Chains A and B, each alone.
Chain A
Amino acid sequence: MFSEPDSIFPALIVLLPVLAFVLTLFLGKKLPHGGAYLPIAAIAGSFIISLGVFLEIYPDKIVQQSWPWFANMNIGILIDPLAVVMLMMVTFVSLLIHIYAVGYMSHDPAKPRYFAETALFTAAMLGVVLSDNILQFFISWELVGVCSFLLIGFWYHKPSAAAAAKKAFLVTRVGDVLFLAGIVLLYVNINEIIASGRFSVASDNYLLQFSTMFEAAKLIDPTQLTYITLLFFGGAIGKSGQFPLHGWLPDAMEGPTTVSALIHAATMVTAGVYLVARTFPMFVATPATLGELYPSFFPAHVPDALLIVAYIGGFTALFAATMGLVMNDIKRVLAYSTVSQLGYMMLALGTAGAVLGAKAVGISLFHLISHAFFKALLFLCAGSVIHAVGTNDIREMGGLFKKMKITGTTMMIAALSLAGIGIPFLNIGTAGFFSKDMIIEGSFEYGEKTGDMIPYAFAVIAALLTSIYIFRLWFMAFTGKPRSERHAHESPNVMTRPLMILAILALFFGFTQVGFYGYLEKNFELMGVEMAGHEGEAPEIPVIIILLPVIVGVLGFLISYAIYYKRWLDMSKIISSSNPLYKLLLNRYYEPKIGADIIGVKLTHDVVAQSGEFVDRKIIDGLVIDNIIGKTTFSLGEAARKLQTGVVQNYASVTLLGVGLLLIVLKLVGGI
């Protein structure tokens, strides 16, 4: 019913939220709760269809539908294992957050706009997931970006929100341009191999379909393929907040907390990871030239694109975690945590991809989904706290556990999951325990096989920091003496019920691990893509390596317990502006200063744009037009008037000047 080639249901997954967007936008004002029930019903519908599709296609079928669109482009739907797990996650998390938002946004007069925009966002995100070709993927990706822009700037009267919205759009736009350049390069290369007769597609309409791309990747010049994949990865760096384009994501917390939970934690920011996973066969097919050229720096036999993905991801995981340690805004701590966890997902694709091939997609996606549950939960808990105390600053919170038992408990569950707490060998643990453990083990295996242990080191140190910052947050908010006058209270049921559901998933989702990996591993096989096998013997993983992630997780908990609960250590000496390291972290490595002030305002506006303005007004217009041509014209005109021969000569002389000018230009470019 859901997965027949001509079924309308797959398209409805996207179209229902689109419809909800239009209706809410125009009718929301007249409906209760700003029309919230429209998107809730629509997304519930999308979720049910996604589930139906999943049940029908599991374990070894895919849905493919395609229609011609414009020029040589097509529009289409591809639901394979990769897409269907994302579909279910996105619709489910979005549904819960929409329900929660009914309570959270209840006092906001602009509710209809809020619900319309989140419905459009959900549609666009589902569009990203469902796309069967890279162009449609890009288009949905951009629409996701604009919804993010609108929602970060939801309270547009706040200058900080307007600035954050702009920053988010522009920084991700840098990535988007790289992505677009990658598409251009891919398009040109596919056309080239078609023109040379080495490749053909059934019809021109399907030039940029994923299946075509994977076929063509084998024939494209390997260096070009590296460029293409790295440009795609550039897009992923922007969208998924990887270093050096990570700065927009913490600023994006200016939006409502529900937006942070939905867009800037659970779904949109994972689109970059999804892009790399979606085009993974191309990444795997890139040549391993870096290791050959610089054997002292890079490991041998690791595809270039994967190596770079691994390093950027690993570095980001660690780099963002350091900033998470010192932030005082509850949402910013979580934002840096998101950046860091997205780094883990990239790391998994890079390292596990190099040694385990197609399995890496499962490993990365499993963390993506478990992260979506626990991070959405963390944000919604933060929202519940903010709702109660009216501030984002954790220094002004404290002692909330007594008043907010449900929020406190569910947030602890989420924190345990983020820190990856569980019991190794018995296979009992939180979702994060299973998903992160596998990434760390994968990077160890990569280290064993290639001799490059750096990504593994990134992953382990970042895991320790993760645990410290998240329990610091929890202890500061929920324990100790209340530091605020405001009378806090537990949130209404419409907000706490979604917390409980997500808490259950953050606790138990991990148990689907084995089935999940098995299902995702076949993803590209089902599309008929052969990926280079990386079978070989799996190395024996030492016991200490298996234990280490949990050890650092518990260690982090104990450190935070000692400092922020027991207060055994006086932090005031460390947290001071005279400590250069603390200052560096608190100022976010001066990224906002470098990015916005120096590159944005000083260089682009003050230097380039203003000198352009000078050239335009003073040289082209002032000197050439007004003075030379203008004055000559008028003096010639004056002379002509005296000769009473009318304006024809005037025009003729100016005409000659014009042609002369063009001749000079031509001469300069060697035209004549």
Chain B
Amino acid sequence: MTAYISLMIAIPLIGAILAFLTKTRQQARAVALVSSGISLLISIIMLSRFDSSLAGIQLDEIHSWIPSLGITLSFGVDGIGMPLVLLSCIVIPLTVIFAWGETKEPNKFYGLILLELVGVLGVFTSLDFFVFYIFWEIVLIPMYFLISIWGGPRKDYAAIKFFIYTHIASLVMLLAIFALYFNAWQITRTPDFNMFHLLKNYSLLDGWLITNVISIKDAIFIGLLFGFIVKMPAVPFHTWLPDAHVEAPTAGSVILAALLLKMGGYGLFRVILPLLPFSDSPGKMITLMAIIGVLSILYGTFLALAQRDLKKMVAYSSISHMGYVTLGAAALVPLSVSGAMFQQFSHGLITCVLFMSCGVIQHSAGTRIIGDLGGIAKYMPKLTFVMLAGFLASLGLPGMSGFIAELLVLLNSYANLPTFVILALFGIVFTAGYHLWAMQRAVFGTFNEKLGHIHDGANYEIASMAVLVLLIIFFGLYPNPVLNMMTTTATPLVRDAAGLVGVIV
């Protein structure tokens, strides 16, 4: 048994406590950088120990906790979790560097960022459903405070909306988890919160939640699905996201978009796909997921086109990109599923650059309204360079990671979901459209003299964005270090579903 994961989670937790106790911002940010840096180091060691040719859980550890209820502290990673662990450990230190100049209550600020790392790492590694849920909820709290303390003018509205919305989803999910747990307990006669056991026992369940209206199986499935897609978020459960982003501080937006949304997608792969073949009406569920996926892609795209606030536009672009995750998962082909997983990883990197760009512009120009900007490239050449790279990555330029993900989803989903893929293809032109249109109006063209004196991003800001751009290009040219393990894990994941699912629409 190894202890990488518990160490990786424990260190930022200790770091967070230390950061809260520090007196100066220099100490606070140093603690944040060092502890998240150690987590990054551990995640890289884990990656080097990880065998991409094995589909099962690796680097696992188990500690007993509440035996009477069958709850254990068990952790481990496979091709679903490992890349997201890596992503989290990359994003958090870079966010700390990006936010190096934070002056408002820095000890709490950096402490909360570290707590976010603790939460997401827990979600991506927990193998016990109960512990998984605890981490799932832990993530909410620091984000609530990040928005409500460091947020913009309507921060209270946004923070409450974020909290209630995602919390309702969590509770629905919790009910489903309990239903699964107690029903399985009745059948197997042993209390057991082990995630894999519970997912396996799902097929044994029987009976109605409401007689002749909804079966227990369907209720559980929908409850879990609801919990995950609100988090992603998928249309029509997405409206909390733009509001949260508009008000959140840049670091909060980065973590929200890069990591918190990924929890939803993680749930699809970890929980929904294993259950899908055993649900009472898999075909209908797949159709539902495909509709949600493609609706998110197109709806997000057109809404992004309508936005006047640059940051809101980026928020809607997230919804659109996360639609590919749902679509690829619904197609149930090994490479479409691994493409969807890769989209999670890739979007996590790309969206950071976009939100950071918005933050730098807001800071320098005092506004993010596209129409009020104009020609800022003249005074912000460094920002323009990294921002353009991020925008090109986001619109799916080959040679960057987003392209590989979306290509794999489109190529491999067509066999099962042809109509949906054709619809998704329509979105591509408009995706390029809103990105370039925004760049043209905000960054290029004649400088808007009303903006007064503006300056380029600080070196630490540009540096963390540049690192992300390099990673986006690296994984765009050579995705194998994470893609191979995704494909290995995806293959048995969809094996059960093969044959159950014919061509839909």
Contact = CB atoms under 8 A, between A and B. Distances in A.
Q: What range describes how many residues of B lie at the interface?
A: 35 or more
B305 A651 contact: no
Contact of A139 (B239, B306, B398, B428): B398
B168 A654 contact: yes
B487 A71 contact: yes
Contacts, number: 165
A666 B440 contact: no
Contacts of B377: 156-157
Interface stretch (A162-170, A275-283, A476-484, A557-565): A162-170
Interface in A154-200: 156-159, 161-163, 165-166, 169-170, 173-174, 176-177, 180-181, 183-185, 187-188, 191-192
Contacts of B426: 177
A188 B285 CA distance: 24
Contacts of A620: 236, 239
Contacts of B478: 70
Contacts of A658: 168-169, 172, 226
Contact of A609 (B305, B404, B447): B305
Contact of B288 (A70, A651, A655, A671): A671
Given A72-B335, A166-B440, A654-B164, 9 more contacts: A159-B446, A165-B440, A166-B436, A166-B439, A169-B432, A183-B411, A612-B306, A616-B303, A671-B288
A672 interface: yes
B164 A659 contact: no
A162 B377 CA distance: 12
Contacts of B404: 70
B281 interface: yes
B398 A651 contact: no
Interface string B301-322: 0110111000000000000000
A290 interface: no
A480 to B, nearest CB: 36
Interface in B380-404: 392, 397-399, 403-404
B291 interface: yes
Contacts of B172: 655, 658-659
Contacts of A293: none
Classify the interface of chain A: helix, strand, loop or mixed. helix
Given A162-B444, A633-B164, A180 B483 contact: no
A169 B171 contact: no
A146 B437 CA distance: 15
B223 A173 contact: no
B231 to A, nearest CB: 13
A167 B425 CA distance: 19
A621 interface: yes
A143 interface: yes
Interface string B55-80: 00000000000000000000000000
B429 A170 contact: yes
B455 interface: no
Interface of A: 70-72, 135, 138-140, 142-143, 146, 149, 153, 156-159, 161-163, 165-166, 169-170, 173-174, 176-177, 180-181, 183-185, 187-188, 191-192, 600, 604-605, 608-610, 612-613, 616, 620-621, 625, 633, 651-652, 654-655, 658-659, 662-663, 665-666, 669-672
Contacts of A180: 407, 410, 425, 428
Contacts of B433: 170, 600, 604
B397 A609 contact: no
B414 A188 contact: yes
Contacts of A670: 284
Contacts of A158: 445-446
Q: Please name the 4 residue pairs, one residue from A and one from B, whose CB atoms are nearest each other, closest first.
A: A139-B398, A609-B306, A162-B444, A613-B306
Contacts of A669: 284, 287-288, 291
Contacts of B247: none
Contact of A157 (B335, B445, B483): B445
Given A183-B411, A633-B164, A609 B214 contact: no
Classify the interface of chain B: helix, strand, loop or mixed. helix
B411 A655 contact: no
B398 A173 contact: no
A142 B398 contact: yes
B239 A157 contact: no
Contacts of B414: 184-185, 187-188
Nearest to B236: A620
Nearest to B335: A71
Nearest to A124: B399
A613 B303 contact: yes
B408 interface: yes
Contact of B483 (A71, A162, A181, A652): A71
Given A169-B432, A669-B291, A187 B411 contact: yes
B214 A672 contact: yes
B421 interface: yes
A655 B429 contact: no
Contacts of A184: 410-411, 414, 421, 425
Contacts of A621: 239
Interface of B: 164-165, 167-169, 171-172, 175, 213-214, 218-219, 222-223, 226, 236, 239, 281, 284-285, 287-288, 291, 299, 302-303, 305-307, 335, 338-339, 375, 377-378, 392, 397-399, 403-404, 407-408, 410-411, 414-415, 418, 421-422, 425-426, 428-430, 432-433, 436-437, 439-440, 443-447, 478-480, 483, 487
Nearest to B483: A70
Contacts of A659: 172, 219, 222-223, 226
B444 A156 contact: yes
Contact of A153 (B165, B378, B429, B444): B444
Given A146-B392, A670-B284, A156 B445 contact: yes
Contacts of A71: 335, 338-339, 408, 483, 487
Nearest to A612: B302
Contacts of B303: 609, 612-613, 616
Contacts of A613: 303, 306-307
A181 B214 CA distance: 39
B398 A177 contact: no
B145 to A, nearest CB: 19
B429 A174 contact: yes
Nearest to B422: A181
A655 to B, nearest CB: 5
B436 A662 contact: no
Contacts of B411: 183-184, 187-188
A173 B425 CA distance: 11
Q: Which of B408, B411, B425 has the most CB of A within 10 A?
A: B411
A146 B429 contact: no
B378 A157 contact: yes
A203 B483 CA distance: 19
B378 A651 contact: no
Contacts of A70: 404, 478-480, 483
A608 B302 contact: yes
A157 B410 contact: no
A44 B34 CA distance: 48
A11 to B, nearest CB: 14
A187 to B, nearest CB: 5
Contacts of B281: 671-672
B398 A143 contact: yes
A667 to B, nearest CB: 10
Contacts of B479: 70
A651 B164 CA distance: 9
B236 A605 contact: no
Contact of B425 (A149, A177, A610): A177
A651 B440 contact: no
A633 B226 CA distance: 19
Nearest to A654: B168
A166 B441 CA distance: 11
Contact of A191 (B222, B287, B398, B415): B415
Q: Which of A162, A633, A666 has the most CB of B within 10 A?
A: A162
Given A70-B480, A188-B414, A659-B223, A159 B445 contact: yes
Contacts of A169: 432, 436
